[in-house]
Amino acid sequence: MSAASRAKRIDPSLDILVLEKSPFISYSICGVPYFVEGLVSEVDRLIRFTPETFWKERQIRARTGYEVLEIVPARRLLIGRDLQTGQDESVPYDSLLISTGYTPIIPPLDGLDGPNVYTLSNLDDGLNLRQLVEKRPPGRAVVVGGGYIGLSMTEALRHLGWQVAVVEKNSAVYPSLDADMSALVEEELKRNSVGIHLSNPVRGLRRDADGTLRGVALEHGSLDCDLTLVDIGIQPNVELARSAGIPLGATGAIAVNERMETGTPGIFAAGNCAETFHLVSRRPVISALGTAASKQGRIAGENMAGRRGVFSGILGTAVSGVFDLTVAQSGLSSETAVEAGFRPGVTRVSVPSRAGYFPGIRPVTLKLIFDQPSRRVLGAQIIGDALVAKRIDVVAAVLTAGMRLEDVAQLDLAYAPPFAPLWDPLLVAANVALREQ
Amino acid sequence: MSAASRAKRIDPSLDILVLEKSPFISYSICGVPYFVEGLVSEVDRLIRFTPETFWKERQIRARTGYEVLEIVPARRLLIGRDLQTGQDESVPYDSLLISTGYTPIIPPLDGLDGPNVYTLSNLDDGLNLRQLVEKRPPGRAVVVGGGYIGLSMTEALRHLGWQVAVVEKNSAVYPSLDADMSALVEEELKRNSVGIHLSNPVRGLRRDADGTLRGVALEHGSLDCDLTLVDIGIQPNVELARSAGIPLGATGAIAVNERMETGTPGIFAAGNCAETFHLVSRRPVISALGTAASKQGRIAGENMAGRRGVFSGILGTAVSGVFDLTVAQSGLSSETAVEAGFRPGVTRVSVPSRAGYFPGIRPVTLKLIFDQPSRRVLGAQIIGDALVAKRIDVVAAVLTAGMRLEDVAQLDLAYAPPFAPLWDPLLVAANVALREQ
């Protein structure tokens, strides 16, 4: 949708057609947990455009319920099917964007097929889960995977009165965080009576003969439950591209250059199906974030409309709420820094979120990861109150600029008693890191 | 205090003495409005160190009630007076730091001397004002000057039930903001029943024969009042330095190099009495902010202890709360950008603070000031909810790095429905600015 909108704005004479298999275009998948919880009352609120409003507001056609079955680059043709009529139809193109997104990884487990298992990877899943929590009293849920979506749903279900257990095959929730920071998230989950089962992979689901979900079998032990959510990771949807001979990258996503062009003339790819690269490690990565996807789409749209747009890569900046904590990260973790060939040093500080005398102070815990030889900042993880959501963006700018610890230590950051201490946590962390060097 | 602490940490063998005329060291002047309002219950909460605790925790001597009368650089000697005994005493030094801060500018007005007039430039003033608001019922207050301290006190007094009028000789409150942004602050003040009198300088104070304050005479009209706060600007305290022959800079503050050395050997200056320079305009400026002062102190301490520290200048990053608004700025305004020789372009956007469907969204209004020929970002002003306090820090990092609009447009900033929209206001502003170029 970003690409279509951007291209149309640059060149209103373009004839643009968006093809979508599902019944929905332009919805916020990140909003689904809030819809399930009821914080967002109507599913329509999550939908930015329908095909009708997209046409009305932007003069771009969008067709839902149409599945592309094959791309024929040599003839610049798509072969697909109208899912309502069942009829095959082909669509010619001059310029094509593949933005097929990702699919959640579904582990090959007994009992996974059947009622009361959700992945929350699309709006239909969200609608079905909302119906379920509305029609029955709160029960027991098992969330398989302690990542962003899993923990968002954990909180939503707790707010609805469900008992929730999080099962994670790794040794910590939020595997993208360093273990000591994940531990703070685990404490918050425990404070909110969430069961946590680490280093304990799921082996299968237990169902009655009639299919009723009864529980989850783990490597060690088992858990009774009435509902299972699965969020163990994503894979880019690349089958269409692969079968058309479009080259994939080392990560398995569709290979693109900085203009979002694939290796096949006239075909672009953007969003979570396209490979991108990490601004700090300079390595190819897959991103599951909407921020990267929409920026890539915008760049693809510029290039498809004849301008020159260049995508500059990602940092993986992300924030999420976990009950009363805000958890944010940007750049490399200690682990990914080592993988990328750096020699990381780390500094972790815990600083009041406001002037020490101000009512309502809470700690901000900030972990700074830097390259020891060059003192360049490589990443940060921050846990604290809501302001953390934008504190991490300061780090994103620092990483983009390639600043070193001594540059960060002198940043002229805002202070006022209700909002920050005189020495901002980021400045404190940089100064401590410099002292410990 | 920053300099003393830093020097002692680097070289614990140093014999450091802090001399202070007032009864207090190490207090937060920014906390005074919250103390007057009663949000901070005890004045001791605003004091980080007493001479006793400073000695105990840091092994640094501090002497209050000692006024330095003269610096004799040729003999490396201070001549001063113990204000309690009235006795003159001299103190030798090897290395001296002048950190005499600033004094509020007091307009030469009839009736200004006398009871119920406050400047809130020191803790005593805050204590006296707190006593006044505790012992009498709420009345009418006139705040002369619509800057940071004036508006903080306006809010505190309104919360205490006072009627408050703000009188400003300029055509807008918050003169450091562009006029259209100041207008948003004025609307918020009006929503909170604060009287606003712009382009209307104070001509004098009206008092009864017994000295009782009755009102304020303005260029146009007059206002009855029981209390007057004066906050029309600051001047650096440079008399001691000037009389010792230490060179002053173009701004009237004490001239220092990047190591905080004055033109006189062995003498450093730091804090609001010392000149600094603006990172964007590269011009000398006076700063009234504690953030700059404490960083300068730290750098001075490093150099006084024999290390090499360099201060990299300021951006004037600041944030304050004005009732339900958070108001923040960094870098140059439209006006100061022109003064500094740039050809500024501006873009102003108003974007929801969270995902559009999330409950409790409020607008974030962000004005980006950039140099048209180079597209380099020169400054920003942001008004919105509390997260604005750290949104401005992203701009501070952008300014420090010298980023251009196209760099800002691609920043990988955090998104999650409760904290930010998918396209952060800063990204929207940069994209709009690029489009309008």
Task: Give the CA radius of gyration of chain A.
Answer: 23
CA distance B260 to B296: 7
Written as one letter, the residue type at B187 is E
| Touching A: B residues 358-377, CB under 8 Å | 358-359
Q: Do B419 and A319 touch (CB under 8 A)?
A: yes
Q: Do A48 and B394 touch (CB under 8 A)?
A: no
How would DSSP label each residue in B346-360?
Answer: EEEEEEESS-TTSTT
The encoded tokens of residue B319 equal: 């944030």
Least confident residue range of A119-128, A224-233, A247-256: A119-128
Task: State the virtual CA torsion across A338, A341, A345, A351 in degrees, nearest 10.
Answer: -70
CB atoms within 10 A of CB A407: 19
Q: B370 has which bridge partners?
A: B345, B377
Note the pLDDT of residue A348.
Answer: 98
Note the pLDDT of residue B356.
Answer: 85
CA distance A131 to A148: 22
> What are the tens digits of pLDDT across the range B86-98?
999 999 999 999 9
Note the pLDDT of residue B355.
Answer: 87
Confirm or reject contact between A397 and chain B (CB < 8 A). yes
> What are the tens digits of pLDDT across the range A267-313?
999 999 999 999 999 999 999 999 999 999 999 999 999 999 999 99
Helical packing angle, A2-10 and A290-304, nearest 10°: 30
Distance from CA of B422 to the nearest CA of A (A): 6
CA distance B190 to B174: 15
CA distance B400 to A46: 37
Q: What is the three-class DSSP state of B421?
A: coil
- Higher-confidence residue of B376 and A355: namely B376
CA distance B37 to B155: 9
Mean pLDDT in residue range A347-355: 94
Question: Is the CB of residue B296 less than 8 Å from the CB of residue B1?
Answer: no
Of A294, A315, A416, the CB nearest to B319: A416
Q: What is the three-class DSSP state of B195?
A: strand
Confirm or reject contact between B403 and chain A (CB < 8 A). yes
CA distance B175 to B14: 44
CA distance A387 to A326: 8
Confirm or reject contact between B391 and chain A (CB < 8 A). yes
pLDDT at B4 over 90: yes
Q: Do B355 and A30 touch (CB under 8 A)?
A: yes
The encoded tokens of residue B161 equal: 């039930």
Question: Is the CB of residue B34 less than 8 Å from the CB of residue B15?
Answer: no
Quick one: which of B277, B278, B207, B228 has its CA closest to B249? B277
Which residues of B are designated catalytic?
A: 30
Interface probe, candidates B308, B330, B357, chain A, greatest A C-beta count within 10 A: B357
> What are the tens digits of pLDDT across the range B20-77?
999 999 888 889 999 999 999 999 999 999 999 999 999 999 999 999 999 999 999 9
CA distance B88 to B77: 13
Where residue A381 falls (left for φ over 0; alpha for ψ -120 to 50; beta otherwise) is: beta
pLDDT at A135 over 80: yes
The encoded tokens of residue B240 equal: 């001691």
Question: Is the CB of residue B399 less than 8 Å from the CB of residue A401?
Answer: no
Q: Do B30 and A317 touch (CB under 8 A)?
A: no
The encoded tokens of residue A55 equal: 């046409």
Question: Is the CB of residue B167 less than 8 Å from the CB of residue B218?
Answer: yes
What letters, b where the CB count within 10 A reaches 16 and e where it falls short, cover A388-402?
A: bbbbbbbbbbbbbbe
CA distance A256 to A274: 7
CA distance A3 to A294: 8
Confirm or reject contact between A391 and chain B (CB < 8 A). yes
CA distance A397 to B411: 7
pTM of the model: 0.96
Note the pLDDT of residue B339.
Answer: 97
Question: Is the CB of residue A95 less than 8 Å from the CB of residue A4?
Answer: no
In sequence order, the 6+-apart residues with CB closer than 8 A to the CB of A187 are none
Nearest CA in chain A to B310: A410
CA distance B313 to B330: 13
> What are the tens digits of pLDDT across the range A397-408?
999 999 999 999
Q: Report residue A359's pLDDT band, with 50, 70 and 90 as the boundaries.
A: confident
CB atoms within 10 A of CB A14: 18
The encoded tokens of residue B204 equal: 């004098």
Q: Report residue B121's pLDDT band, with 50, 70 and 90 as the boundaries.
A: confident
The encoded tokens of residue B344 equal: 């500024």
Cβ–Cβ pairs < 8 A, chains A and B: 217
Q: What is the mean pLDDT of chain B?
A: 95
Instruction: Say how many residues make up chain B.
Output: 437
Note the pLDDT of residue A20.
Answer: 96
Distance from CA of A62 to the nearest CA of B (A): 21
Cα angle A129-A130-A136, degrees, rounded to a multiple of 5: 90
CA atoms within 13 A on the CB side of A332: 29
What letters, b where the CB count within 10 A reaches 16 and e where it falls short, cover B211-221?
A: eebebbebeee
CA distance B71 to B87: 17
Q: B325 has which bridge partners?
A: B322
CA distance A377 to A406: 10
Q: B89 has which bridge partners?
A: B80
pLDDT at A210 over 80: yes
Note the pLDDT of residue B361.
Answer: 87
Note the pLDDT of residue B122.
Answer: 85
Calculate the alpha carbon distances from A162 to A138, A192, B23 in Å.
5, 11, 58
CA distance B270 to B125: 24
Nearest CA in chain A to B317: A414
In sequence order, the 6+-apart residues with CB closer than 8 A to the CB of A11 are A305, A306
For the sheet with B377-384, list strands across it: B318-322, B325-331, B377-384, B363-371, B344-352
Quick one: which of A94, A93, A70, A97 has its CA closest to A81? A70
Instruction: Say how many residues make up chain A.
Output: 437
CA atoms within 13 A on the CB side of B33: 23
In sequence order, the 6+-apart residues with CB closer than 8 A to the CB of B304 are B3, B7, B95, B97, B268
With a pLDDT cut of 90, the percent of chain A lying above it is 90
Which residue in the block uniquely carries the two structure tokens 């650096």?
Answer: B236
Largest CA distance in chain B: 70
> What are the tens digits of pLDDT across the range B312-326?
999 999 999 999 999
Alpha carbon A29 to its chain centroid, in Å, reads 9
Q: What is the three-class DSSP state of A219?
A: coil
Mean pLDDT in residue range A81-87: 96
Question: Is the CB of residue A149 less than 8 Å from the CB of residue A316?
Answer: no
| Touching B: A residues 280-319, CB under 8 Å | 289-292, 294-295, 311-319
**Residues of B with CB below 8 A from A318's CB?**
414-416
In sequence order, the 6+-apart residues with CB closer than 8 A to the CB of A437 are A345, A372, A375, A405
> What are the tens digits of pLDDT across the range A140-149?
999 999 988 8
